[in-house]
């Protein structure tokens, strides 16, 4: 019975993929998928990447329709950077708890308390917060962005863990908001110690959204893309991975001969996983749900995102 169920699912996925190819042509669509998406979505994406790469693709694509397989703020960023495109998301319930931890009123109050500070906002934030921001960043370019800002004082929102990491790589004074990624923040020192005991020859690669004491244990610290590139190019054959488990798709694809052990079974973002292949096909069939950003908000937020893309 189990074999039959698997066969039915495989056949359904084949049919969905065929339908997707047809719909992409009809809609002149491009599919962008974050590395934390389900394997079945990453398999059919035109581009897989982290927030920075996907923002670049959204800004430069000639496609009329962008399907953003990620969470809501990513779709917003795509719509802000490509206002004349139709931007779809397979499931609009795909939110981001970290993005919800910062609010416009609180940020405005902080700006009033520190009038000489510039606001640097992690891309994991709402369009409204981006509109109150001087420049955005991602985990892959956060240090470069901070050091590019012409100010000695930085208001940093919303991720305190990434903020702590960045603070170690700059002389600027940072006022750090108390937000965090629910998934990365779950990883503990105890988890890493136990995994190292099981896999003594493995290197520990870790995302800076994890707790500072966990990041301090890393043999390599970097963004999702940086972790993937490091593992691909390293001579090491075994890794303990301290980031969301969807990254395993690209890690295994790049290095099928290497072993990857995720540092905790809890490194799964439930919001990223609400998207699936069936919803992806349906959103292109119905052209819903679409991402909408009020023009006045988008115009202000676009400045902070375009400044981010200009930092080399």
Per-residue confidence at 8, pLDDT binned at 50, 70, 90? confident
pLDDT tens across 43-59, in order?
Answer: 999 999 998 889 889 99
Nearest to 303 by CA among 148, 64, 81: 81
pTM for this prediction: 0.94
Q: In what order do the strands lie in the sheet with 118-122?
A: 135-137, 118-122, 153-157, 173-176
Q: Is the pLDDT of residue 5 over 90?
A: no
Nearest to 35 by CA among 23, 24, 47, 22: 47
Q: Is the pLDDT of residue 6 over 80?
A: no
pLDDT tens across 60-80, in order?
Answer: 999 999 999 999 999 999 999
d(CA 123, CA 274): 20
Strands (E), the chain: 29-34, 47-49, 65-69, 86-88, 118-122, 135-137, 153-157, 173-176, 203-206, 220-221, 238-242, 259-262
Residue with tokens 């962005």: 145
* Portion of the chain with pLDDT greater than 70, in percent: 100
Question: What per-residue confidence (pLDDT) applies to 184?
Answer: 98
pLDDT tens across 97-130, in order?
Answer: 999 999 999 999 999 999 999 999 999 999 999 9
d(CA 259, CA 121): 35
Neighbour count for residue 252 (Cβ, 10 Å) = 14
Nearest to 209 by CA among 122, 308, 147: 122
d(CA 67, CA 112): 38
pLDDT tens across 286-310, in order?
Answer: 999 999 999 999 999 999 999 999 9
Neighbour count for residue 189 (Cβ, 10 Å) = 12
Can you spell out the DSSP letters for 192-250? HHHHHHH-TT-EEEE-TTS-HHHHTT-SEE--HHHHHHHHHH-S--EEEEES-GGGHHH
Q: Is the pLDDT of residue 229 over 70?
A: yes
Average pLDDT, the chain: 96
d(CA 10, CA 22): 19
């Amino acid at each position: 019975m189990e074999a039959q169920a698997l066969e039915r699912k495989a056949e359904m996925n084949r049919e969905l993929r065929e339908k997707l190819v047809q719909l992409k042509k009809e809609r002149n669509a491009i599919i962008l998928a974050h590395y934390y998406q389900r394997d079945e979505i990453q398999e059919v994406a035109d581009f897989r990447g982290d927030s920075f790469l996907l923002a670049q693709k959204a800004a430069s694509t000639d496609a009329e329709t962008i399907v953003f397989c990620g969470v809501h703020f990513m779709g917003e960023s795509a719509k802000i950077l490509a206002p004349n495109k139709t931007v779809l998301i397979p499931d609009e319930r795909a939110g981001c708890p970290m993005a919800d931890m910062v609010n416009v009123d609180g940020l405005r109050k902080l700006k009033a308390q520190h009038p000489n500070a510039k606001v640097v906002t992690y891309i994991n934030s709402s369009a409204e917060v981006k509109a109150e921001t001087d420049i955005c960043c991602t985990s892959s370019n956060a240090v470069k962005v901070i050091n590019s800002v012409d100010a000695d004082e930085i208001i940093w929102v919303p991720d305190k863990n990434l903020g702590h990491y960045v603070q170690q790589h700059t002389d600027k004074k940072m006022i750090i908001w108390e937000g965090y990624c629910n998934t990365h923040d779950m990883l503990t020192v105890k988890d890493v110690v136990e995994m190292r005991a099981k896999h003594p020859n493995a290197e520990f690669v870790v995302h800076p959204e994890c707790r500072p004491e966990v990041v301090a244990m890393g043999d390599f610290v970097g963004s999702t893309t940086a972790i993937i590139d490091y593992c691909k190019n390293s001579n090491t054959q075994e890794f303990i991975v301290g980031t969301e488990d969807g990254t395993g798709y690209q890690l295994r694809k790049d290095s099928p001969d290497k072993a990857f052990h995720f540092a905790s079974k809890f490194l799964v973002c439930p919001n990223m996983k609400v998207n699936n292949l069936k919803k992806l096909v349906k959103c292109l069939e119905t052209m819903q749900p679409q991402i909408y950003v009020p023009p006045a908000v988008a115009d202000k937020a676009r400045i902070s995102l375009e400044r981010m893309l200009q930092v080399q």
